[in-house]
């Protein structure tokens, strides 16, 4: 990894806490519907709705909110009290208003790499929500460029690289999702370091063993320095 010029960081669950907040919201959502279905079935139904809506709504909290609303209608055969809908919407509003909790080691690593590399934040989700989290985090000063992507497929990274005027062999992506942060970048010919997080959204889970000389696994974000320098 001698020729890296651009280092891109995923944001949710790489720079700051995200998935545990969603899990908490899902728990509360299941509580709302426990008169109709057991918790695990509610969560299964919600996930099904989210997957059905992904192509139309994209990622992020507002999509999650709309999927909760739709799931209430379906699970209850349109018999739920509308108060449940408002409660679900409020769970989403709580998510949007959460404070940003930066993960351990992130500030130290960004400060250490800043100057030697062009640092990029590359995340998917709601445009405004991710911008707001970045501002709340105070991490904006470290980044040369912020890219909020509608998806993280190979074609999306290809567009990002073109935009940054960076060849794949000079590009390193760091993130917690093998599916979104690692596989598409390796496929393009870039480098990738996986920094696992304890909680992963079912959608992001993959059961693949990666065997690629441009792939590395770091047990924490502070350890990525070992691979780069």
**Binding interface with a second copy (CB under 8 A):** 56-58, 62-63, 65-66, 69-70, 72-73, 76, 78-86, 89, 92-93, 96-97, 126-129, 131, 145, 148, 150-151, 163
Least distance (Å) between residue 59 CB and a second copy: 8
Least distance (Å) between residue 69 CB and a second copy: 6
Name the residue nearer to a second copy (CB basis): 23 or 144: 144
Name the residue nearer to a second copy (CB basis): 100 or 112: 100
C-beta separation of 123 from 13 below 8 A: no
Select from 15, 9, 8 the least CA-distant residue to 171. Answer: 8
Question: Angle at the Cα of 170 (from 169 to 176), degrees rounded to 5?
Answer: 90
Name the residue nearer to a second copy (CB basis): 54 or 102: 54
Name the residue nearer to a second copy (CB basis): 14 or 63: 63
Residue at token pair 């690289």: 161
Hey, is 6 helix, strand or coil? strand
Burial of 109 (0-12, 13-18, 19+ CB in 10 A): buried
Name the residue nearer to a second copy (CB basis): 131 or 222: 131
Least distance (Å) between residue 152 CB and a second copy: 13
Q: Taking the CA of residue 165 as centre, how many other CA atoms within 13 Å lie in the half-sphere pointing to its CB?
A: 0
Least distance (Å) between residue 129 CB and a second copy: 8
Least distance (Å) between residue 55 CB and a second copy: 9
Pairing relation of β-strands 6-9 and 118-124?
A: parallel
Least distance (Å) between residue 27 CB and a second copy: 21
Name the residue nearer to a second copy (CB basis): 11 or 106: 11
Torsion, CA 8, CA 11, CA 16, CA 18, rounded to 10: -160
Strand partners, 124: 149
């Amino acid at each position: 990894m001698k020729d890296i010029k651009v280092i891109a960081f995923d944001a949710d669950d790489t720079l700051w806490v995200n998935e545990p907040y969603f899990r908490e919201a899902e728990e509360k959502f299941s509580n709302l519907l426990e008169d109709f279905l057991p918790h695990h079935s509610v969560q299964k139904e919600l996930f099904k709705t989210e997957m059905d809506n992904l192509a139309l709504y994209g990622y992020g909290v507002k999509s999650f909110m709309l999927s909760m609303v739709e799931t209430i209608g379906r699970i209850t055969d349109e018999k739920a009290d509308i108060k449940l809908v408002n409660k679900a919407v409020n769970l989403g509003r709580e998510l949007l208003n959460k404070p940003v909790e930066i993960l351990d080691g992130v500030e130290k690593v960004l400060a250490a790499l800043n100057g030697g590399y062009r640092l990029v934040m590359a995340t998917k989700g709601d445009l405004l929500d991710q911008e707001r989290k970045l501002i709340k985090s105070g991490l904006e000063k470290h980044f040369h460029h912020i890219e909020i992507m509608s998806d993280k497929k190979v074609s999306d990274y290809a567009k990002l690289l073109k935009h940054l005027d960076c060849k794949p062999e000079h590009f390193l992506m760091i993130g917690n999702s093998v599916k979104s942060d690692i596989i598409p970048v390796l496929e393009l010919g870039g480098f990738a370091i996986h920094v696992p997080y304890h909680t992963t959204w079912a959608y992001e889970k993959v059961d693949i063993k990666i065997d690629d000389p441009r792939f590395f696994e770091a047990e924490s974000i502070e350890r990525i320095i070992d691979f780069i320098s």
